[in-house]
Structure 1
Amino acid sequence: MLAPVTDETLMRRIEQFIHAEARLQDEHAYEAWEQLWTDDAIYWVPANGADIDPKSQMSIIYDNRSRIGIRVKQLLTGKRYTQEPKSNIRHFVTNIEVTGREGDDISVGCNVMVYESSLRGETIWAARTDYTLRDEAGAFRMARKKVALVNNDRPLYTLSFLI
């Protein structure tokens, strides 16, 4: 069992970062969201289970830093027709916990529920999200984000927003 984080200031900073990231996603603040990533970042949404090998099995999203930038540019074009008009989205984040620490990298996990209202109707996305947060000059950035959707073993509606 992992020992609880006793540094309340650190825990509060982690919570604030994760809540701010969720708010940027909800507000479609794509450029600001993109700035939260490190240069060596990985953004991963696995398919068909949470513990697959993304290099040998299909993923819903498996983006490196360059691909994250391309994804944001695509969202900014206004040509994502499933996002015209943009979905109304709200992220609900719970059970934030530190799961490990190595140097400047802090492993954090949480449960997330995303409510999406769009022209096609309403969808609820539930997931376990695992982060590797890196403390760079006193500010956190995401080195890794893995979003393991609860229903990733079934056909999914178009996921054309930031989860």
Structure 2
Amino acid sequence: MATMSGDDPQRSVEQFLYRQAECLDTGDWQGFIDLFADDGIYWMPADPSQATGDGVPSIFYEDRDLMAVRMRRMMHPRAWSQKTEWGTNHVVSNVRIEKHDAASGLLVARSRFHMMEFRNDSTRHFAGSYIHHLQPSPDGYRIRLQRVDMVNAQGLYDYVLQAWV
């Protein structure tokens, strides 16, 4: 688990985001889910103008329970979609803290990402920005909300996203 680095929230947030990317790239799905607060939400809007994911179509709008369902589906021995050679590589950069309440420790961080996915002998690239609403916990941060805005969210895909970006 990425821990908070003393009085340097910038470094703590960077290390946390790198840990999240590592969970995704190694298929540590439970580790990824554990980074979320009990009421945490992973949200990827279908359109960048969306102000909420509640009650409107989104690419992803999952709480921890729905993330656990996705994880079990991906890990199921008969999950055909997982039988092909598959992997991702995330690069997270341009991390900046937008808001930080020093008293409560709550903060909002923005960053950029690039993800390469290899599956079925082909490569796809996804890029965009993250917004993380983070709360401190005894062993690091927990995600209250992660918003993922992909540059190519409205593009055509020959297959759907299997896991989180």
TM-score of the aligned structures, taking structure 2 as reference length: 0.86
Distance 1:31 1:109 in 2: 24
Cα distance, 1:84–1:47 mapped onto 2, change above 3 Å: same
Q: Which residue of 2 is the match for residue 4 of structure 1?
A: none
Give the stretch that moved more between structures: 133-142 or 33-42.
133-142
Distance 1:56 1:35 in 2: 25
Q: Share of identical aligned residues, percent?
A: 20
Q: Which residue of 2 is the match for residue 67 of structure 1?
A: 66
Confirm or deny that 1:161 pairs with 2:160.
no
The secondary structure found in structure 2 opposite 1:14 is: helix
TM-score of the aligned structures, taking structure 1 as reference length: 0.87
The secondary structure found in structure 1 opposite 2:153 is: coil
Distance 1:84 1:146 in 2: 29
For structure 2, the residue ranges without an aligned partner over 5 or more in a row are 1-5
The secondary structure found in structure 2 opposite 1:53 is: coil
* Cα pair 1:132 1:144 within 8 Å, conserved: yes
Offset at 1:104?
3.0
For structure 1, the residue ranges without an aligned partner over 5 or more in a row are 1-6
**How many pairs does the alignment contain?**
157
RMSD: 1.9
* Cα pair 2:85 2:118 within 8 Å, conserved: no
- Write the mapping of 1:38-49 to structure 2, written as runs, cut at 5 A: 38-49=37-48
Offset at 1:50?
4.6
Give the stretch that moved more between structures: 98-107 or 88-97.
98-107
